[in-house]
Amino acid sequence: MLDLVEFYCPNKCGGTLNIHNFENHILNCEKSLYICCIEGCEFIDTKQKIEIHIKECALKTLLCKYCNENIEKINFKIHKEKFKIEKIVYKYRGIEKSREELIKHLINECKINLEICYYCMNSFKYTNYLEHNKIECLQNNFWRYNNIAKKETSKRILLEKEIERLKEQIENLQKPSKEEKE
């Protein structure tokens, strides 16, 4: 009986529906309304218009290449300009460079910005430091560290023996002599 009942689409697209095609029609109806999926946005429109809106939504976040933060699209242009305008001045040379140029310089060219390997105590430019094989460095310096440890152990043993000798001397001095006993 319900199979025979027909009604119009609630989205007013002009479609005539029945119990069998209702759900499928609503999901695919060109006049069905959708809400923007971007947090905080309350835009509602048809599927076709919502797809266009999502690409241009002002609340969509974009990743800033200067600071690696997610910034809302509406604020992104102003945020990005801040970094383009901002110049960092070298203290010693007076050359103005943007933040991005400065970072590239520090990583690739700078002779002042050196990294130190704590295994071999050599200094390297940052890029060379990343290529420096710390494991090989440790293996090459293992015997040096081992010898230092052995020397320290030998010194400790000698000091312990000296402490024992001094304790014996103190004990001997504290013992009453034969003359004092009589």
Q: What is the pLDDT of residue 43?
A: 92
Q: Is residue 6 assigned to a domain?
A: yes
The phi-psi region of residue 40 (left if phi > 0; otherwise alpha if psi is between -120 and 50; otherwise beta) is left
**Any idea which of 2-11, 86-95, 118-127, 152-161 has the lowest mean pLDDT?**
86-95
Q: Is residue 110 assigned to a domain?
A: no
Asked if 102 and 88 count as a contact pair (C-beta separation under 8 A), the reply is yes
Domain boundary among 11, 28, 56: 56
Q: Is residue 34 assigned to a domain?
A: yes
87-146 pLDDT, tens digit each: 555 554 566 666 667 777 776 777 666 777 766 777 777 667 767 766 667 666 666 666
Domain boundary among 56, 71, 91: 56
Q: Is residue 24 assigned to a domain?
A: yes
Q: Is residue 103 assigned to a domain?
A: no
Q: Looking at the predicted structure, is the pLDDT value of residue 181 above 70?
A: no
Q: Is residue 145 assigned to a domain?
A: yes
Domain, as residue range, for 37:
2-56
Q: Is residue 48 assigned to a domain?
A: yes
Domain boundary among 56, 86, 101: 56
Q: Is residue 122 assigned to a domain?
A: no
Phi, psi at 59, each rounded to 5°? -90, -5
162-173 pLDDT, tens digit each: 888 888 888 887
How many Cβ atoms sit within 10 Å of the Cβ of residue 126? 14
For the chain, how many structural domains are there in total?
Answer: 2
Mean per-residue pLDDT for 15-41?
Answer: 84
The amino acid that residue 34 corresponds to is Y
- The CATH number that applies at residue 8 is 3.30.40.10
48-78 pLDDT, tens digit each: 898 899 888 888 888 887 777 888 888 888 8
pLDDT band at 86 (very low <50, low <70, confident <90, very high): low
